[in-house]
Structure 1
Amino acid sequence: MMGYDRSVSAADHELGPETVWHLQMPQLRFGRNAVAELGFQLSDLGVDADEDPHGLVVTDETLVDVGHVDRVTDHLEDAGYDVTVWDGVEREPSIENVDSCIEFVRANEGADGYDFYVGFGGGSCLDVAKATRAVIANGGEVLDYIAEPTGEGEPLTESGPPLVLMPTTAGTGSEISPVAIFSVEEKNIKEGISSNHVRADAAVLDPTFTTTLPADLTGKVAMDALGHAIEGYTTHSFDGLLRASNPQERPVYAGRTELTEMFSEKAISLLSSNIRTAVHNGDDIEARAAMLKGALFGAIAGLTAGASLCHAMAYPVGNRYHTYHGETIAVLTPASTLGYNAASDPERFAEVAEMLGADTDGLSTREAADRAKEEYIRLQQDLNVIPSGLNELAGVTEEDVDWLASQTVETQQRLLRCNPRPVTEEDAADIFRDALYNWEP
């Protein structure tokens, strides 16, 4: 018998278990020098170079400075495409940052916008590209499509012209995600647009763009990818959720399936076994490729099955202290996903411990489950680029815990509903307290 009061479901649901699962993905191209096929990818999406289409590359100044954007635009121009570059994306972008990109599009191309879009960079660049394309296609402004009470909560009905995303970091998974997340600075919260109309049409993943990522950022974004994989592996099963009244109401975070579990397992293996090399020897293209592949697999798993408690806690921290999302996930995962949530299914967390490389021989199931947290912390210590906890990350102290806990519970129900164990404000405070120090710095 299902515990209906605890199951995750669409707002409009039937009182019965879900029986159908659904996987929607962009077209994927992966491999060294995959950027050379960007023009072919656009053509495959119906963008005919002979019709003189005009496209927009959404990126940031750093990627322009290191020459990566030139590689992208050169390939596009060689394929016959006319492109403009907008390099105004900010780290952890705000709604105002997206508005700036939308204003640029309307000023240069009018209400209909460009004929195609390319998002190039880390998760911030990809999210801005996704939201820009969606708002231009549907009209209005970003806040029209942010959930109430912050926004108007209007549904997206159009996807718009083709959008191709190209990640330069191995972590966020934004290239396949149906969600774009932004800060609402006046409220110290983060909000998102969540819809399959936000999802890109294609993703081109080329590991050669990741070799210039510094060691510290390599480690920090990888922790986000590992978080996706573990959260996706340990969240609710799809048939433990309530069935939506119609398929359109099925949430984009729809619970784990046998397929997402396979991606989670492979992601955890690829990431945990290659991250040390990628951080300490960033020119190792084999390790970089394995990390990018692991991040993709982790996103397929976690951003289909559902991110949960750790991500819910990370957004209030990131918005208040302006920390990188990946390092915030890194310092919260031991106390949240691998600490608090381990009690929800010790056998499953014991499997996670083994995937991370822990020796669980001779241990009880519950003891083996606890080894996942220990092994994860050991991995972070080996990388030597991850803060030892919230205190070292951003100076968070005991006095900040209650506010963070209240913000988590009050503003992140979308993610907490995905968590395999119920979370009260008191629980969240205890977890934040535990995350202040994961080890002695």
Structure 2
Amino acid sequence: MATSSARESVLHLLRAISAASCKCPAHSQSHSLAVAAGNKKCMATGVESKEYAFEMACSNIRYGEGVTQEVGMDFANMGAKNVCVVTDQNLAKLPVMQTVTDALHKSKVNFQVFDRVRVEPTDSSLQMAIDFARAGNFDAFLAVGGGSVIDTCKTANLYACKPDSEFLDYVNAPVGKGLPVRHTLKPLIAVPTTAGTGSETTGVAIFDYEPLKAKTGIANRVLRPLLGIVDPLHALTMPERVAANSGFDVLCHALESYTAIPFNERTPRPENPILRPAYQGSNPISDLWSLHALRIVAKYFRRAVKDNTDKEARSAMHLASAYAGIGFGNAGVHLCHGMSYPIAGLVKQYRAKQYAVDHPLVPHGLSVVLTAPAVFQFCAPMCPERHIEAAGILGADITSVKKEDAGLVLADVLRQIMHDLDVDDGLNSIGFTSEDIPALVKGTLPQHRVTKLAPRPQTEEDLAMLFEKAMKLY
């Protein structure tokens, strides 16, 4: 009787979830209970089976003002004898690195510093970090910096722990081989200094692949840090443009993961759980994290950019980055990110303001958000309810919005936020013209890891149209 009662309770809960869930074509979960039953037929006919499960993975997070000073004790507690500290040359001169090194010295932890991280890393810059890590015989890793630093540290750890591996072995297909990671990595702790990438929570590392002139990445759960130390004091040192661009990355992480194809619509289902990708499609748990991040962005983003002394706003955005990281780190992102990779990789002479770099640079968050109005207007017909809900959270009046206007409403509110925060007026303003569109499309096509998570499939012509619309925003 107890078993029967429990079964009835579970079925009642599932029916309630189904009744309350989004009914738009791309996100209706009403068919999820039938997926398993349909798989036998799919296997018999040779048709790719749909996914039926998702996995949640993220780092442990420690949050609090001044918590960076505990990092030495963390390594001592795990018995680390030789730590590889990864940062960049600018951060190496800032107080955060002094705090870190003091903490390591105090706990009598030996370490070596690699400070040659490139802002927006390339395969060449990653190889330098890999070579350093392989030569050092390290038993733990510490990343101190933004997404570029943390992603470089993840990559160095991955390849140093398997010295016979080749660089393309774990790079996402079709650019690389996309091999599953079967070896054990060393413990990695990340101290993020920007409020944007959420890399302290994810198993993803992004870089510019120079032969392709576009970004790609490595995605596997084993890459994720053991611990992310989110110290809001570091967010106070970000220049205004860094706060803006990294904040737009948070915004797009939340929006893209919430509007991605549902996990149980993704194909093919992996034959082995080790092959299940880090980016799996929207799911009920990621939805919660992404929506909460979006609400924080709506409340604090403008304040955080315009006033670096606003500790409340900057701290909130620092935490929102981690929230969105948990969301997209499991659900994934889609077209804004897929299209951003060639934008960054094909940069000509543009150098973002307030970034201390010696090379042309389109910051990641900027390359992502420039296409956002066009992308969400394009994708909205597939799940209008979710686009309308997001627009409402971001400040749009949605009381009488029709489904067919969902994309337009979200695009308009995004353009308003971008205008308020002085974002460049489209791709034209950072050096691209319509003549560059074929190359931009070509650089987007291999980004299957993310583009196939978009709720609306896209042709080459669709991508060309989206890049054209992104040439001018206002």
After TM superposition, the score normalised by the length of structure 2 is: 0.84
| Residue number among 73, 79, 95 corresponding to 1:48 in the alignment | 79
Residue matched to 1:357: 395
Provide the secondary structure at the position in 1 that maps to 2:113: strand
> Which deviations, in whole Å up to 9, do the C-alpha atoms of 1:41-80 show, x marking residues without a partner?
3355xx226xxx0111100011112232111111122222
Query: Which residues of 2 match residues 381-400 of structure 1 at below 5 A?
Result: 381-384=419-422, 386-392=423-429, 394-400=430-436
Deviation at 1:34, TM superposition (A): 1.7
Structure 1 gap ranges (5+): 5-11
Instruction: Report which stretch shifted further, 301-310 or 360-369.
Output: 360-369
Q: Does 1:401 align with 2:437?
A: yes
CA distance in 1, matches of 2:378, 2:175: 30
Provide the secondary structure at the position in 1 that maps to 2:399: coil
CA distance in 2, matches of 1:261, 1:350: 15
Q: Does 1:420 align with 2:455?
A: yes
Residue matched to 2:370: 331
| Residue number among 88, 98, 120 corresponding to 1:60 in the alignment | 88
CA distance in 1, matches of 2:209, 2:49: 36
Residue matched to 1:7: none
> Which deviations, in whole Å up to 9, do the C-alpha atoms of 1:249-296 show, x marking residues without a partner?
211111212211111111001012111111111121111110011111
CA distance in 1, matches of 2:215, 2:111: 31
| Residue number among 189, 193, 199 corresponding to 2:224 in the alignment | 199
Residue matched to 2:242: 217
CA distance in 1, matches of 2:407, 2:127: 45
How many corresponding residue pairs?
418
Query: Which residues of 2 match residues 65-214 of structure 1 at below 5 A?
Result: 65-107=93-135, 109=136, 113-139=137-163, 140-147=165-172, 150-214=175-239
**CA RMSD after TM alignment:** 2.0
CA distance in 2, matches of 1:213, 1:135: 31
CA distance in 1, matches of 2:103, 2:343: 39
Aligned AA (2:79) = D
Q: Is the 8 A contact 2:214 2:341 kept in 1?
A: yes
Residue matched to 1:372: 410
Residue matched to 1:436: 471
Deviation at 1:16, TM superposition (A): 3.8
Residues 435 and 117 (structure 1 numbering): CA distance in 2 closer, same or farther, change over 3 Å?
same
Query: Which residues of 2 match residues 230-249 of structure 1 at below 5 A?
Result: 230-242=255-267, 243-249=269-275
Provide the secondary structure at the position in 2 that maps to 1:134: helix
Instruction: Report which stretch shifted further, 338-347 or 368-377.
Output: 368-377
Q: Is the 8 A contact 1:138 1:156 kept in 2?
A: no
Q: Does 1:348 align with 2:358?
A: no
CA distance in 2, matches of 1:183, 1:339: 28
> Which deviations, in whole Å up to 9, do the C-alpha atoms of 1:312-360 show, x marking residues without a partner?
1000110110411111112111111x22111211111100111101112
Provide the secondary structure at the position in 1 that maps to 2:207: strand
- Of all paired residues, the percent bearing the same amino acid is 33
Residue matched to 1:9: none
Q: Is the 8 A contact 1:14 1:245 kept in 2?
A: no
Aligned AA (1:133) = N
Provide the secondary structure at the position in 2 that maps to 1:197: helix
Deviation at 1:145, TM superposition (A): 2.3
> Which deviations, in whole Å up to 9, do the C-alpha atoms of 1:55-109 show, x marking residues without a partner?
11100011112232111111122222122211100111111111112222333x2
Residue matched to 2:279: 253
CA distance in 2, matches of 1:425, 1:374: 25
Q: Is the 8 A contact 2:72 2:100 kept in 1?
A: no
Q: Does 1:262 align with 2:288?
A: yes
CA distance in 1, matches of 2:148, 2:166: 18
Aligned AA (1:362) = S
Residue matched to 1:26: 59
Q: Is the 8 A contact 1:31 1:289 kept in 2?
A: no
Deviation at 1:370, TM superposition (A): 2.2
Bigger Rg, which one = 2
Deviation at 1:151, TM superposition (A): 3.7
CA distance in 1, matches of 2:173, 2:448: 12
Q: Is the 8 A contact 1:350 1:366 kept in 2?
A: no
CA distance in 2, matches of 1:232, 1:56: 32
Aligned AA (1:397) = T
CA distance in 1, matches of 2:451, 2:71: 38
Aligned AA (1:423) = Q
Instruction: Report which stretch shifted further, 285-294 or 191-200.
Output: 191-200
Provide the secondary structure at the position in 1 that maps to 2:161: helix
Aligned AA (1:48) = G
Residue matched to 1:37: 70
Q: Is the 8 A contact 1:351 1:369 kept in 2?
A: no
Structure 2 gap ranges (5+): 1-30, 36-42, 348-360
Provide the secondary structure at the position in 1 that maps to 2:190: strand
CA distance in 2, matches of 1:74, 1:42: 13
Q: Is the 8 A contact 2:212 2:443 kept in 1?
A: no
CA distance in 2, matches of 1:238, 1:413: 15
CA distance in 2, matches of 1:262, 1:196: 20
Q: Is the 8 A contact 2:59 2:202 kept in 1?
A: no
Q: Is the 8 A contact 1:275 1:287 kept in 2?
A: yes
CA distance in 2, matches of 1:151, 1:241: 21
